[in-house]
Amino acid sequence: QVQLAESGGGLVQTGGSLRLSCAASGRTISWYYIGWFRRTPGKEREFVAYTSWSGSSTVYADSVRGRFTISTDNAKNTMYLQMNSLKPEDTAVYYCAYGPPSPAATMTGSYNYWGQGTQVTVSS
């Protein structure tokens, strides 16, 4: 079992920055992927980014590329999502996820474990 705990969400103005953290505990596997997804009311979870713990495989959604950066701290078993130049449309509950490498790593079904989510609100 793996437990994921997100933190770092909050309220920020347009153009501001936030850094989300996702601490993993339990039986983590170094070659698994870590992903970030987000959900707004009435919509399905949307892919944001994923990476391998080594950082050798990193993919971003078009909507966040160039503004968001995913990273990992292997020593702390923690991954991060640095979000810059935030826009009101980035407002959502953000979830971290953990699962085996997959060609479908942009899809929620590729991940076995999920955090509880953290709210990010960007005011205009």
pLDDT value at position 65?
98
pLDDT digits (tens, 9 = 90+) for 14-41: 999 999 999 998 877 778 899 999 999 8
Per-residue pLDDT of the chain (124 residues; tens, 9 = 90+): 899 999 999 999 999 999 999 999 887 777 889 999 999 988 999 999 999 877 778 999 999 999 999 998 888 989 999 999 999 999 999 999 999 998 899 999 999 999 999 999 999 9
Burial class (CB within 10 angstroms; exposed 0-12, middle 13-18, buried 19+) of 63: middle
CA distance 83 to 33: 19
Q: Quick one: pLDDT at residue 41?
A: 87
Q: Which residue has the tokens 């950066």?
A: 69
Q: Classify the phi-psi angles of 77: left when phi > 0, otherwise alpha if psi is within -120 to 50, otherwise beta.
A: left
- Whose tokens are 């959604």? That residue is 61
Give the per-residue pLDDT at 85.
98
- Read off the tokens for 115: 């955090």
